[in-house]
Structure 1
């Protein structure tokens, strides 16, 4: 199935994790790292996170929030929400196909 948004290109796991983290509210980098580790078990290095933040900001999927504090918070944009919804739908199709093809039943060992 072709993607509607060709701009998505190769969607990295880090970008997906950042968009999911920001989907429930603005956060600065350190808080994102903690949130991502909590919900996904993935531990990101600051350089990896900040590289993803730069790429997502360039695409217009996140934006910095004005603040007087030293830490720079970001928020997801509507374009970012659209990209996240599309990627999650793709992952859902992948998961459903994998379950169907393998006969996997969640919760059964």
Structure 2
């Protein structure tokens, strides 16, 4: 899972429209990850196809997305994988003292 996908799924723990996803990703990443519309909507399309998100509602051009159970499971798996990697990396602090 890419970093952008991870943050988008985090942002969609509560349903939100596309622009709101961009704002939430920026907020969650402390401003480190800024998604442009092309990147965001490409990833949203892919995640919708893979069943990780669903279209909650649509009013004109404003579409609200929500995470699915499959998306929640994928997010949890990625979180656990990243957490394990950080724990495994703790050796760096011990070795570089």
Task: Figure out how many residues of one structure are paired with residues of the other and give that number.
Answer: 92
Q: Indicate the structure with greater strand content.
A: 2
Q: Deviations over 1:51-86 (max 9, x none)?
A: 110110011000001233530010000000000000
- Please report the RMSD computed on the Cα atoms of aligned residues, expressed in angstroms: 1.2
Give, in whole Å, the separation in 1 of the partners of 2:92 and 2:61: 49
Match of 1:28 among 17, 41, 45: 17
Give, in whole Å, the separation in 2 of the partners of 1:20 and 1:76: 9
Structure 1 residues not aligned, in runs of 5+: 1-10, 105-109
Give, in whole Å, the separation in 1 of the partners of 2:87 and 2:48: 31
Shift of 1:47: 0.5
Structure 2 residues not aligned, in runs of 5+: none
**Scaled by the length of structure 2, what TM-score is found?**
0.89
